[in-house]
Structure 1
Amino acid sequence: MTTKMTKTAQAISLCLCLGAASLTTQAATIGDTTVKFSGYIKADAIMTNYSDGTLASGNIGRDFYIPSLTPVGQNDEGTQFDAHIRQSRFRFTTSTPTDEGDTITGVLEFDMLATPNGDDRISNSYTPRIRHAFVSYKGWTVGQTWSTFMDVKVLPETVDFIGNTDGTIFERQPLVKYTTGSWEFALENPETTITPASGAGRITADDNALPDAIVRYTHSADWGHFAVAGLVRQLSYDDGVDVDESEVSYGVSLTSKIKLGKATDVRLAFNTGSGLGRYLALNAANGAVVTPNNELENIDSMAYAVSLHHKWNSSFRSNLTYSAFDADIDTTLLSEGSTEKTFSMRANLFYQPTAKITVGGEYAFARRELASGLDGDMNRLQFMLKYAF
């Protein structure tokens, strides 16, 4: 047993040291548990020009597209060039059989995106972060992974980290989920984002007493799949002085992936609700606003996305993506500087010279509009090389 564990540790250590030089997923057995190591190394080069300003060095919007960060109403500056490897990730997956004939699955995954430390001056070193850490057993999933309100299967293939960001639900968080057949039922970690009575800014309240409740149904067929998900949650804010309020938030997500022959598919998403806040468009609008009476009023929003994927041959493939976000901004409560609408469109081409390496290029155009009517544009050209192992 000791010898087997030592060989396993050596195999995993060798995989970690070799990195890009390794062309196979490392797998080993520790007792009854199979351990696999996988992931990818991705290098990005990004050239961005904004019509109404710029993003400062270290701003997360320079690493990937975030709708609410497109500058508006500032002085025009020149094109910015950025290069990073922060999306690179590594993943450990374990599989353990039980005496009853079932399987326990564990996943632990890291990357370096959206983490502090490191800069462009000397070392470009960044802190790893946990993406996924969960256990699955007999229909139950416990730990941190994709929210049940999110349909990962309709995310487009883009050089950008997300791609259809304006129109999609995007959330990873701790949860308890039970899956039976086509149904998923989950209780997930809550959080409320609030616009203060000033009408501008963001308060991350962390005052929730109840988890978010989510139900999803997915119908799968030869032509693809269709899914509908519902969300009910509590928006809560207690400042210890004037405000101690809660509101009910709800949302609906409709998604589908439709195959158009062997080489083409279309991916669709429509999301709407009251107080969706952080779930939609990377929190482009908050969940609620504090009224002059120190009460909470939900902010309504809706968004949609469509993406067309096509394989030209065994080596080349392309994607066209459009996504849009729209918040119901009441300027008697919210600042005219609040994000009211965003949209983005992107086109890309991927080339795969061998099974483990992908090279891609993508052009993206995005626009952000404020409640005042002012708007700003983003033009971005991005290239990547990814080695999957």
Structure 2
Amino acid sequence: MNTTQLFNQPTITFKRTVLMSMMAMSLGGISLSTQAQTSAQSNQQEIEQLRQEVQALRALVEQQQRQTAVVTAHVAATPAPASKPVMKIASGAEFNLYGNIRADASYQVEGGATDWPFNQINSVALEGNNENSDRFRSTLSATRLGMDFKAPVAAGDKALSGKLEVDFLGGASFDNLRIRHAYISYANWLIGQTWSNFAVPDYIPETVDALVYTGGSIKRTPQVRYTSTISPETNLVFAVEDPKDKTVTQRLPALTARLNHKLADNITVSARAMGHEKRINEDEKMAWGTGLGVKYDVVPGTTLKADYYHVKGDSSFVTFANTGVAVTALKDKAITTDSQIAGQSEFDSIIVGVTQQFNDKLRGTLGYGYMNFDQDNEYLAAVNPTTINKDLWQTWANVFYSPTKPLSFGLEYVYGEREAVVAAPNGSTKGEDNRINAVAIYNF
């Protein structure tokens, strides 16, 4: 080996080493570059996936916002449900007004003589005796206006409440303003005029006729009433009432009692009793009566109602009854200072019907009412027997249609008969009530 070769050997070795190091570094760089590229691709895929999820979430949010905007717009465009406004005065009392405009009409094939479209079954003409045939009658006298009120009371946490309600069925012409209800109530007490505690309307099947039919009663009396709650299902109500019986000299009010009981969620009953002194001069007789009412929701939408009375010596509580007492008259049938009570009328009555709610706008009722009067010779001898009835009955069918809550339209057919105790000169003892009734009501 020469000197040149000796000096070149380490150089070759160094170059080889450097070359090999550079190759290793290059391979390492290639490897790192490959790994970085792979990692970048993976990150890019994750970023793309996240971007897609964000876009999907954004689309969902925008959809929800659009739906919310639609719902909000619909709610804003839909008026709030109507409710009766409550008005307050400075004393803290509050009250609300209510009522209706009611138009009644009737086409009478046969019926009573009074010029109004309501029931007159107890006085319809006997056949062949000045009958009232083919008559059209109408009125708005049953239109009513009312006010409920409530006021705080200093003692205790109970409130004083009350009602004032009027219509236009008063007076001889049946078109004058009259009081229907006017009372105040506090705790268990009620003072004023409202439905009689004895002759309640709760168990009368629905009618288009504003005066109901045979066997029913819609009596309102001035009274003082006390209610005792025995249990959540039972209460007992006592009252002293003024029945406004103009046929006698009234010295004392009538005493009435009513027991209300809920047998089940769909059955309620009411047992009632009444006692009232009847007085002519110094002669006195006690009138009395009992009543029983039932309301039964047979199935949802189908309701059965029935009401029964047995009464002796009174005609002021149950509608269409014969005069409660007969009075002896010594001169020209007029009551004198020597007049006495000759006898008392006695009767049984029942009214029953079923109401079917076909849907939220349409309902109908089928009903029947009957009254039977006992005959007393002393009673008949002291009255005009041609005006006294032996039997009364009526049957009816109606439908009510309410297209909207304030409006209601009713149509009804009724047929009934009365049988008089004494025949007319032509021998007839029966009179007929044959009508078609209609009503239109706007409630406010």
Shorter chain as denominator, the TM-score bin is 0.7 to 0.9
User: Which of 377, 383, 388 lines up with 2:438 in the alignment?
Assistant: 383
Pairwise CA distance, 1:70: 1.4
Superposition pairs of residues 246-265 of structure 1, within 5 angstroms: 246-265=284-303
Amino acid at match of 1:188: E
Does residue 1:67 correspond to 2:121, yes or no? Answer: yes
SS at match of 1:68: helix
- CA distance in structure 2 between the aligned counterparts of 1:267 and 1:209, rounded to whole angstroms: 36
Counterpart for residue 294 of structure 1 = 340
Task: List per-residue Cα deviations over 1:157-197 (Å, max 9, x = no partner).
Answer: 2110133x31123311100000111000000114445xxxx
Counterpart for residue 183 of structure 1 = 236
Amino acid at match of 2:353: S
Pairwise CA distance, 1:75: 3.6
Counterpart for residue 158 of structure 2 = 102
- CA distance in structure 2 between the aligned counterparts of 1:286 and 1:343, rounded to whole angstroms: 18
The 8 Å contact of residues 291 and 333 in structure 1, kept in 2 or not, is answered as: no
Superposition pairs of residues 84-233 of structure 1, within 5 angstroms: 84-99=139-154, 100-116=156-172, 126-163=175-212, 165-181=213-229, 182-192=235-245, 204-205=247-248, 207-220=249-262, 221-233=264-276
Identity score, percent: 25
SS at match of 2:99: strand
Pairwise CA distance, 1:67: 2.5
Counterpart for residue 24 of structure 2 = none
Counterpart for residue 201 of structure 1 = none
SS at match of 1:78: coil
Pairwise CA distance, 1:289: 1.2
Amino acid at match of 2:86: A
The 8 Å contact of residues 394 and 417 in structure 2, kept in 1 or not, is answered as: yes
SS at match of 1:128: strand
- CA distance in structure 2 between the aligned counterparts of 1:148 and 1:183, rounded to whole angstroms: 11
Pairwise CA distance, 1:116: 4.2
Amino acid at match of 2:146: R
The 8 Å contact of residues 93 and 152 in structure 2, kept in 1 or not, is answered as: yes
Counterpart for residue 392 of structure 2 = 342
Counterpart for residue 316 of structure 1 = 362
- CA distance in structure 2 between the aligned counterparts of 1:103 and 1:135, rounded to whole angstroms: 11
* Larger RCO of the pair (alpha carbons < 8 Å, separation 6+): 1
The 8 Å contact of residues 125 and 131 in structure 2, kept in 1 or not, is answered as: no
- CA distance in structure 2 between the aligned counterparts of 1:215 and 1:161, rounded to whole angstroms: 26
The 8 Å contact of residues 342 and 378 in structure 2, kept in 1 or not, is answered as: no
Instruction: Say if 1:329 and 1:175 are closer, same or farther in 2 by CA, change over 3 A.
Output: same
Pairwise CA distance, 1:327: 1.4
The 8 Å contact of residues 243 and 253 in structure 2, kept in 1 or not, is answered as: yes
Unpaired runs of at least 5, structure 1? 1-22, 119-125, 194-203, 239-243
Amino acid at match of 1:88: T
Does residue 1:27 correspond to 2:86, yes or no? Answer: yes
The 8 Å contact of residues 325 and 341 in structure 2, kept in 1 or not, is answered as: no
Pairwise CA distance, 1:372: 2.1
Instruction: Considering fraction of residues, name the structure with more helix.
Output: 2
Two-structure CA RMSD over aligned residues (Å): 1.9
SS at match of 1:314: coil
Equivalent residues, number = 336
Instruction: Considering fraction of residues, name the structure with more strand.
Output: 1
The 8 Å contact of residues 149 and 169 in structure 1, kept in 2 or not, is answered as: no
Does 326-335 or 371-380 show the bigger shift? Answer: 326-335
- CA distance in structure 2 between the aligned counterparts of 1:175 and 1:162, rounded to whole angstroms: 22
Unpaired runs of at least 5, structure 2? 1-81, 230-234, 330-338, 424-428
The 8 Å contact of residues 25 and 36 in structure 1, kept in 2 or not, is answered as: yes
Instruction: Say if 1:261 and 1:297 are closer, same or farther in 2 by CA, change over 3 A.
Output: same
Instruction: Say if 1:254 and 1:153 are closer, same or farther in 2 by CA, change over 3 A.
Output: same
- CA distance in structure 2 between the aligned counterparts of 1:357 and 1:349, rounded to whole angstroms: 14
Task: List per-residue Cα deviations over 1:288-345 (Å, max 9, x = no partner).
Answer: 1125883442211110010100011111100011101111133454243112211111
- CA distance in structure 2 between the aligned counterparts of 1:145 and 1:152, rounded to whole angstroms: 11
Instruction: Say if 1:78 and 1:187 are closer, same or farther in 2 by CA, change over 3 A.
Output: closer
Does 62-71 or 355-364 show the bigger shift? Answer: 62-71
Pairwise CA distance, 1:24: 5.4
The 8 Å contact of residues 192 and 237 in structure 1, kept in 2 or not, is answered as: no
- CA distance in structure 1 between the aligned counterparts of 2:203 and 2:228, rounded to whole angstroms: 21
Counterpart for residue 241 of structure 1 = none
- CA distance in structure 2 between the aligned counterparts of 1:237 and 1:76, rounded to whole angstroms: 35
Pairwise CA distance, 1:40: 1.0
Counterpart for residue 313 of structure 2 = 275
Pairwise CA distance, 1:259: 0.5
SS at match of 2:122: helix
Pairwise CA distance, 1:135: 0.5
- CA distance in structure 1 between the aligned counterparts of 2:172 and 2:326, rounded to whole angstroms: 29
Instruction: Say if 1:349 and 1:234 are closer, same or farther in 2 by CA, change over 3 A.
Output: same
Task: List per-residue Cα deviations over 1:88-119 (Å, max 9, x = no partner).
Answer: 1010110112231001111110001143458x
User: Which of 288, 292, 303 lines up with 2:349 in the alignment?
Assistant: 303
- CA distance in structure 1 between the aligned counterparts of 2:245 and 2:150, rounded to whole angstroms: 36
- CA distance in structure 2 between the aligned counterparts of 1:381 and 1:277, rounded to whole angstroms: 28
Task: List per-residue Cα deviations over 1:7-48 (Å, max 9, x = no partner).
Answer: xxxxxxxxxxxxxxxx75342011311111001111112100
Does 359-368 or 147-156 show the bigger shift? Answer: 147-156
Instruction: Say if 1:130 and 1:192 are closer, same or farther in 2 by CA, change over 3 A.
Output: closer
The 8 Å contact of residues 324 and 341 in structure 1, kept in 2 or not, is answered as: yes
Does residue 1:41 correspond to 2:41, yes or no? Answer: no
